Structure 1
Amino acid sequence: MIRYSLRCEAGHEFESWFAGAAAFDSLSKAGQLACAICGSPRVEKTLMLPAVRPGRKAEARAEPRSAEGGAPAPSLSGEATALEQTLAAMRRHVEENSEYVGMNFASEARRIHDGDSPERAIYGEAKPDEARRLIEDGVKVAPLPFLPRRRAN
């Protein structure tokens, strides 16, 4: 596994794990990468700092730092931040009030828009080009800031 620092065309920076350099390249070429913040499909790798671990004694004394070496790294075992709580509430609302249609999202959204399927709230997954065509055709869709639970690790 390899972790890359990524940046979208809007300047949002985030990190993601890949099976290897070839996995990043193939996902990028297939248009299956998107910004974790805005959903932009134009994502590129940025300069990464190597993760060099200090000796055991130094590690015990040091306060954990972010990858950039600036502010202390967030604690994964601490309380959720306001943003994390908001995202969790959004996820609960979507899951409780919508139907998960999986990879059939684009076709089902189009059927609802055309009146061929009953109107209801749905969520699922679509390839970037499918989502782009829906938007171009006037189908109201928006990216969610989380993966469906079926796909989350």
Structure 2
Amino acid sequence: MIIYDLRCDNEHQFEGWFHSAADFDAQTSRHLVSCPQCDSHQVRRVPSAVAIAGHNAPEPAGPAPSASKTGSMAAMPAGTQIMAAYRQLVRVMIEHSEDVGNAFAVEARKIHYNQAPSRAIRGNATAQDLDSLADEGIPVMHLPNIREEDLN
């Protein structure tokens, strides 16, 4: 898997994960890659901070005051970039999962105990349902419901 830093024609920066450079080229030529903020399909690769400061970069004169030599650091994206990334995550999860509505806890148990086909599901669950699922060792991810108008 290759992670590319990308930028659209409106200068929004984001990242994309691809199987190969050829996969990136094929997806962009078919307009399958779009900016999560503005949906522009005019996307290009940009230099990655990791690639620029790669392993051949000279060692600093002294240790960094807040990081160890083996630690990693990253800048947190601005609020709009976080929301755009969250919107893209939710969109992908919705496209690749089955909505089971209020039967989420029941269906998650069926899948866990091999009483139903293994598949990605989404739906609604109470806090008590989530606690019970966790107690049974059933992994779930809780995502808050964010309205589309709150993402802009």
Q: Which category describes the TM-score, using the shorter chain as reference length? A: 0.3 to 0.5
Q: Which has the larger radius of gyration?
A: 2
Q: TM-score, normalised by structure 1?
A: 0.43
